[in-house]
Structure 1
Amino acid sequence: MERPSGLVYVVDDDRRVQEALSALLRANGRDVRAFNSGAEFLDTPRQDVVACLILDLRMPGMNGLEVQKLVSTDSQIPVIFITGRGDVPSTVLAMKGGAVDFLTKPLDEDVLMRAIDAALARAHVLRKEAEEIAALLALYQSLTPREQELLPLLASGLLNKQAASVLGITEYTVQVHRGHIMRKMQANSFATLVRLASRLQLETSSMTTFDA
Structure 2
Amino acid sequence: MSEQITVFIVDDDEEVRDSLKLLIESVGLETETFDSAQSYLDSFDRSRAGCLILDVRMKGMSGLTLQEQLSKEPICPPIIIITGHGDVQMAVRAVKAGASEFLEKPFNEQELLDSIHVAIEKDAEQRGRASRLAEIQAKVDNLTDREKEVMELIVTGMQNKNIASELHISQSTVEAHRSKVMDKMQARTLSDLMRMIISLRPM
State TM-score, norm by structure 2: 0.91
Report how many residues are paired: 198
Deviation >6 Å, runs of 4+? none
Aligned residue for 2:8? 9
Instruction: Write out per-residue CA displacement over residues 112-147 of structure 1, whole angstroms, 9 at most, x where no aligned residue.
Output: 000000000111111111111111111111100111
Matched with 1:60 is 59
Contact 2:83–2:91 (CA under 8 A) maintained in structure 1: no
Q: Which runs of 5+ in 2 are unaligned?
A: none
TM-score (normalised: structure 1): 0.87
CA distance in structure 1 between the partners assigned to 2:178 and 2:140 by the alignment? 13
Q: Which residue of 1 aligns with 2:179?
A: 179
- Contact 2:153–2:163 (Cα < 8 Å) also in 1: yes
User: CA separation of 1:96/1:150 partners in 2, compared to 1, >3 Å: closer, same or farther?
Assistant: farther
Given the superposition, is the C-alpha separation of residues 198 and 21 from structure 1 closer, same or farther in structure 2, using an over 3 Å criterion?
A: same
Judge conservation of contact 2:56–2:91 (CA < 8 Å) in 1.
Answer: no
Q: Quick check: 1:170 aligned with 2:163?
A: no
Amino acid of the structure 2 residue aligned with 1:188: R
Give per-residue Cα distances to partners, 1:53-88, cap 9 Å, x unaligned: 001011122111110111122222100001112333
The sequence identity of aligned pairs, in percent, is: 37
Q: CA RMSD in A?
A: 1.8
**Residue-by-residue CA offset, 1:139-197 (whole Å, 9 max, x unaligned):** 11110011112212111111112222332322222111100000000011122111111
Mapped partners of 2:158, 2:106: distance in 1 = 60
Name the CA distance, whole Å, in 1 between partners of 2:197 and 2:21.
44
**Residue matched to 1:51:** 50
Contact 1:5 1:120 in 2 (8 A): no
Measured after TM superposition, the shift of residue 107 of structure 1 is: 1.8
SS of the aligned residue for 1:73 comes to: coil
Do 1:151 and 1:197's aligned partners in 2 also have CA atoms closer than 8 Å?
no
